[in-house]
Each structure stands twice: as C-alpha cells, then as structure tokens.
C-alpha cells in the first residue's frame, strides 16, 4: 500500500506500505509463507463491482506523516485477508484482525518502523517548510483483494472521521475516479483551511479595530483548520473584546466556504452606544459644602474613530462647582492607552456656623498617564499605570489668603505627584477578585510647595485596595467585600488625606467625617433580589424592575503620622439597603446605616446624620 502525503504550501511527504516489495531483513520463515504477486492490467473504478487492490496511495496529507500508526492501521486492516491472519496465527500472533494489526505495528521483526527510509529534503520555501519524500515499506506480499465500492466508501468515511476526531472538522477524504494500475488505489485528502474571516454588524467601529484585537484568530487564516486551535484563539480574544465598552456583544460562527475544504469565520459585533449622556442626583457630598448634588456626564467612546474616549462631567451642590475632563487614546491593540485628565473645582463652606466667613477653596488638577496591560485573557488581567499629576490649591478666608496646613502665605499649595499603579483582576464564572496597589510620591519639582516643619509637597503614600465579588447559589444572592489600607511616611496636606465616612466609605456617618494620614477601611455586603416591581411603560424586559435588598457591615480606622490621632479613631456601622433597577438605564438606591460609634453631630442637621444615603441615576441619551 502506498501513502502519498501531499499538501500544497506545506511539507510534501510520501509514505509507502508497499505490499509488493521484499526486504531481506525480514525473518525468512515469515517471508517464505507469503505467495508471490504478479502485476495486473490497469482497470477503472467507475462501473466496477469489485476492485482488485494491493496498495493505497494517500495524497494531500500534510498533517499526519508516516509515523502515525492510527492512519496506517485504518488502511492496513483492508489489506489483510483471513488467509493472512491464519498465517500470522501460526507465528503465534492473536487471531483477531485488531490484535493482529496491533502486533503487526509493534512486533520487533515485522514492525513498520524498522523499514523506514527517508531521503534528504528535496527543497524548502521561504517559510522554512520542508518538502520530503518519506517511504515506508513492508515486505508482505498478500494476495490481491477484491474490494467493493461500498468498502471504498467505508475507507473514505473512516479517514474523514480520523480527521474530524482530531479537530480537523472541514477536512475530507475523497476517492476520485481513476485507473487502477497494479492494484493501487489513490485516495485524495483535502485538508480544510480557514480561508476567510469577515466582520458583520459594526457601524462605528472599523473592521480593522476588531481585526487588530483578534490577532490569535487572524494568525490562523490560510492555515489548516483545527477547531480546538480556533476555539483556543477565540477564547483568548473574544472575552476581552466583550469587556470593551464599545462592544455590547460579540459572537463568532464558522461557516462552510465556497469550495470543499474552505471555511469562513463570521464575527458578528453588536456595538454599544458610542454617545451617552446621563444625569445623577445623590447626597454623597459633605454637608459643609452642600450634601445634595446634581451631576451630568457626557461620554463618547469613539470620538475620532480610533477607539478614543472623551468624558466630560459637571457636578454642583449648594457650595460646590466641579467640572472634570478625561481623554483616553489607545496606543496599541492590547488595551494600552494614554490618559489626559483635568479637574477644576470651586467650593465655599455653606454650614451655618461658617457661612459668614466666606471660606472658599479652589483646586485645579492636571494629569497625564500611560496604562499598559501586560497580560489579559478570559480569566486574568494584569496592568500597570504610570501617571504624573500637577495640583494647585488655594484657600481664602473673607477674601483674604488663608494658610491652611502646608499652604504658603498666599494660601496656595502646589504639588507634583508621581503615581505608580499595579492592578490585577481574576475572573471566573461565579466570582471576581481584584487588587490594586497605588504608590504615590510627592516630588520637589515644578515649584512644588516645600516647608521646613509643616506638611509639604514631599511625601510618599501607599494605598492597597482589594475587592471580592461572588455569586451564591442561594436565590441568586451575592457577596461583595472590600478592603482598603493606606500608609504614609509623614504628615500630609489636606488634599492627600485618607477620608472615612459616607456612602462610598463607612455608611451611617457624614461624608468625610474623619480625615487622617493613614487608615483602613473594610466593608462586607450581602445582597439578593427580593421581588420584581416593573414600572409600566419603562420596565420592558424580564430583567427590568427587580428590587435588590442588601445588608452590610462597614468599618474604618484612622491614624495620623507623628501627630495626635483623630477622635474617634474607629467608626463602624451596620445597615440595610434597597436598589431598584427600573431598567437598564435607570436605577434608584437607598441605604440606611446605624452608627455603632456615636459622634457628636454639628448643630446643622442633615439626613446623613441619621445614616441615610441615596442616589438616582438615569441615562437620558445613548
């Protein structure tokens, strides 16, 4: 039998199971029992009831060489007659065909590999693919077999299944009509390839943007298609694309191509809205400058068509005006980007005890940073950010400069800060765990404020933040845990303090009730959906209208560096809350917490003193 393995553009191998040759290194007793053969006249497969055959020639196989015993066994079993098995039995080989083949492949005298002959490579192309002529010979001279067309179809199906079981799902074996010369049947292997990758559904995102982010899949184009390799490539890039805010959903579908052995990968993209405007109302600010805040934000996820993002936000309370700007520009296809940010806030104290003093504060902040993801896949992400920040703050009292901690005689303070941020996230089907490390260094650069004894622009802090989210089997409930730890090497200016108290910290206390140089924050929350209350005309899907109840415990601890600690140093609370997800664009939440440590409240009352924190958010356009 002759196996001729040929694949255009890859290695050209020829593997022979030659049933007509004698090899002198065979055991004579075995060879003597085999009858001689005589060449036959050519005959054609077409129209023949039974086809005389001594050999198979396989053409088109570049994947499985002559070393592949499984493929040899598939064909060899059709060339062993019952008379041959009887003769093998006399040699002590088991009588079943399967065991006979197994023995045939492994017997020290009759094994195929001892008759392996390989000539030197004939040539090689620019891609360093080697073309070889590899020959396997076997000296058995079995009687010629008469094989029916049905048997040939069975051989073809077995070879095709041989490929499919190994993941080559669009490879196929065919037997073309041919002249049969000396009992040689040629079987053609068409090793299927991924010939085309197409993107559908994208309107604002360019196809190049998607192609650049599916490089592991793009590398498979033109190569022999293996479904397991393709799935691995898709698993490496599709989940990452699904986390891209520009992509609402993305799916891949493998389709047959125009010709046999061709396949097309169709990638269907559902874009997220590129433009979004949302409004927000909450009481998440300190009552000193006005607790009740209204915010409006604008976001564009593809401003210049390059996957760049711009964010604009304006917030206002009774005593605060704050405007923020953020622009991100991608620098590679793996998520690395440059961020330019600016923030300007003007605040005035509106508390009754201080309003008459016209105590104002203005802060201007600029930053430039680079974020570089070093590793990201379906389960893990690791990135680093390097950011430089420039901050200018000015405080006045009744229109005159006020020397707050660290400020100069003009009431001004300038800081130049270098931040180094490392972030690692692990995801699974039921949980997410993330940890972020932020090391910040105040530099004596660009006219930073420098003092002898007071806090100044030279400092170092380290903030470690962890968060854990897990879905539970009990009624689709969830657990959210958070831990923040902050260290510093000296007294800090007010803008760099660690704050405790409020909706994003220890609930049950006023916003920023305690500020310190060092501190710890811990929060544990359990939440579960309790009922569905759809709003007619607004809640439209089955997921809309759910009310999620929660209970929580918050704890905070504060310390100062080389000065008296704040009083109290520890605050904690327990509480409950409700969140109503009216639809995908609107939600409202209300938390109430009971403060476990009593703190004397200021004379001017605010609902934060009773542990009430609320927020309503609505996306008005996207």
Residue with tokens 């604009």: 312
* Superfamily of structural domain 193-271: membrane protein fhac (3.10.20.310)
- State which residues of the chain have pLDDT below 50: 1-41, 66-67, 82-83, 93-143
Question: For position 28, what pLDDT does the model report?
Answer: 33
Asked whether 555 and 522 are in contact (CB, 8 A), the reply is: yes
> What ranges do the domains of the chain cover?
2-190, 193-271
- Please give the DSSP secondary-structure letter assigned to residue 607: G
Burial 291-309 (b: 16+ CB within 10 A, else e): bbbebebebbbbbeeebbb
Closest by CA position to 561, among listed 506, 603, 517, 498: 517
Q: Tally Cβ neighbours within 10 Å of residue 84.
A: 19
Same CATH topology for 2-190 and 193-271: the answer is yes
Burial 470-480 (b: 16+ CB within 10 A, else e): eeeeeeebbeb
Question: Which CATH number is 2-190's, of 3.10.20.90, 3.10.20.310, 2.60.40.740, 3.20.20.140?
Answer: 3.10.20.310
Asked whether 112 and 138 are in contact (CB, 8 A), the reply is: yes
Alpha-carbon distance of 21 to 30, in angstroms, equals 14
Give the rounded distance of the alpha carbon of 385 from its chain centre: 19
Tell me: cis bond preceding 344? Omega within 30 of 0 counts: no
Question: For position 51, what pLDDT does the model report?
Answer: 76
Question: For position 376, what pLDDT does the model report?
Answer: 87
pTM of structure: 0.78
Asked whether 267 and 199 are in contact (CB, 8 A), the reply is: yes
Question: For position 144, what pLDDT does the model report?
Answer: 53
Residues 85-102: tens digit of each pLDDT: 555 555 554 444 444 444
Distances (CA, A) of 315 to 319, 326, 395, 606, 622: 11, 15, 20, 20, 20
Alpha-carbon distance of 119 to 117, in angstroms, equals 7
Alpha-carbon distance of 411 to 404, in angstroms, equals 7
Instruction: Please report the beta strands in 171-289, taking only residues with DSSP state E, as ranges in sequence order.
Output: 172-174, 179-180, 184-190, 193-200, 247-256, 262-271, 275-282
Alpha-carbon distance of 429 to 249, in angstroms, equals 17
């Amino acid at each position: 039998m002759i196996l001729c393995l040929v694949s255009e553009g890859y290695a050209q191998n020829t593997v022979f199971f030659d049933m007509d040759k004698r090899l002198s290194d065979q055991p004579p007793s075995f060879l003597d029992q085999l009858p001689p053969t005589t060449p036959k006249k050519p005959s054609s497969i077409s129209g023949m009831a039974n086809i005389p055959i001594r050999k198979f020639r396989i053409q088109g196989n570049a994947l499985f060489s002559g070393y592949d015993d499984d493929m040899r066994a598939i064909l060899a079993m059709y060339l062993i007659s019952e008379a041959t098995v009887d003769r093998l039995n006399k040699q002590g080989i088991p009588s079943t065909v399967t065991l006979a083949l197994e023995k045939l492949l492994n017997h020290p005298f009759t094994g195929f590999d001892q008759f392996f002959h390989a000539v030197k490579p004939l040539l090689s192309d620019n891609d360093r693919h080697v073309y070889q002529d590899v020959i396997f010979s076997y000296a058995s001279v079995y009687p010629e077999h008469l094989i029916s067309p049905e048997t040939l179809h069975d051989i073809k199906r077995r070879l095709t299944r041989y490929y499919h079981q190994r993941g080559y799902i669009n490879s196929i074996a065919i037997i073309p009509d041919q002249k049969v010369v000396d009992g040689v049947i040629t079987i053609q292997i068409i090793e299927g390839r991924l010939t085309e990758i197409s993107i559908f559904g994208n309107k604002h995102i360019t196809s190049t943007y998607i192609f650049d982010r599916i490089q592991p899949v793009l590398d498979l184009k033109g190569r022999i298609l293996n479904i397991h390799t393709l799935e691995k490539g898709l698993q490496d890039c599709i989940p990452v694309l699904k986390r891209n805010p520009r992509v609402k959903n993305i799916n891949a579908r493998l389709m047959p191509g125009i010709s046999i052995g061709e396949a097309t990968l169709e990638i269907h993209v559902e874009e997220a809205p590129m433009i979004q405007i949302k409004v927000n109302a909450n009481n998440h600010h300190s009552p000193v400058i006005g607790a009740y805040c209204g915010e409006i934000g604008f976001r564009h996820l593809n401003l210049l068509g390059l996957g760049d993002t711009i964010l604009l936000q304006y917030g206002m309370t009774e005593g605060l005006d704050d405007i923020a700007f953020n622009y991100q520009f991608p620098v590679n296809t793996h998520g690395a980007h440059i961020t330019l940010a600016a923030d300007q806030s003007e605040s005035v104290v509106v508390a009754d005890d201080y309003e008459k003093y016209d105590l104002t504060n203005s802060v201007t902040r600029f930053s430039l940073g680079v974020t570089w993801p070093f590793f990201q896949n379906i389960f893990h992400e690791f990135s680093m950010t390097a950011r430089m920040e420039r901050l200018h703050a000015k405080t006045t009292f009744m229109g005159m400069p006020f020397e707050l901690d660290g400020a100069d005689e003009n009431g001004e303070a300038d800081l130049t800060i270098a931040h180094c941020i490392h972030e690692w996230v692990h995801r699974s089907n039921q949980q997410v765990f993330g940890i972020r490390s932020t090391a910040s260094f105040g530099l004596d650069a660009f006219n930073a404020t420098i003092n002898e004894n007071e806090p100044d622009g030279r400092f170092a802090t380290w903030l470690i933040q962890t968060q854990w989210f897990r879905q539970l089997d009990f009624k689709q409930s969830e657990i959210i845990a958070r831990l923040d730890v902050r260290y510093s090497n000296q007294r800090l200016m007010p803008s760099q303090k660690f704050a405790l108290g409020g909706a994003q910290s220890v609930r049950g206390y006023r916003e920023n009730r305690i500020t310190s140089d060092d501190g710890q924050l811990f929060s544990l929350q359990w939440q579960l959906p309790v009922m569905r209350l759809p709003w007619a005309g607004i809640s439209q899907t089955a997921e809309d209208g759910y009310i999620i109840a929660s209970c929580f415990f918050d704890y905070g601890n504060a310390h100062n560096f080389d000065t008296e600690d704040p009083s109290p140093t520890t605050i904690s609370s327990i509480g409950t809350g409700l969140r109503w997800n009216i639809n995908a664009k609107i939600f409202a939440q209300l938390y109430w917490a009971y403060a476990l440590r009593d703190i004397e409240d200021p004379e001017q009352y605010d609902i934060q003193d009773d542990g009430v924190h609320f927020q309503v958010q609505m996306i008005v356009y996207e």
